[in-house]
Amino acid sequence: MLEVAAGVLIQDHKIMIARRGDEKPYAGYWEFPGGKIEKGETPEVCVKREFMEELGIRIGVRGFIGHNTYTYSKGPVQVFLYSVQYLGGTIAPTEHAEIRWVKPEELVNFELLPGNLILIPHLANLKV
Q: Is residue 17 within 8 Å of residue 28, measured between CB atoms?
A: no
Q: Which helix (H) or strand (E) holds 114?
A: helix 114-117
Q: Which of 108, 118, 102 is nearest to 9 (CA)?
A: 102
CB 88: neighbour CB atoms within 10 A? 8
Q: What total number of domains does the chain contain?
A: 1
Query: Domain of 52: which CATH number?
Result: 3.90.79.10
Task: Determine the structural domain holding residue 11 and report its residue range.
Answer: 2-125
* pLDDT value at residue 126: 75
Average pLDDT over the chain, rounded to whole?
A: 94
pLDDT tens across 62-75, in order?
999 999 999 999 99
Q: What's the gap between Cα 65 and its chain centre?
A: 12
CA distance 27 to 14: 23
Average pLDDT value for residue range 108-113 = 94
* Prediction pTM value: 0.93
Phi, psi (degrees; rounded to nearest 5) at 110: -115, 145
Which residue(s) pair with 15 in the sheet? 10, 102
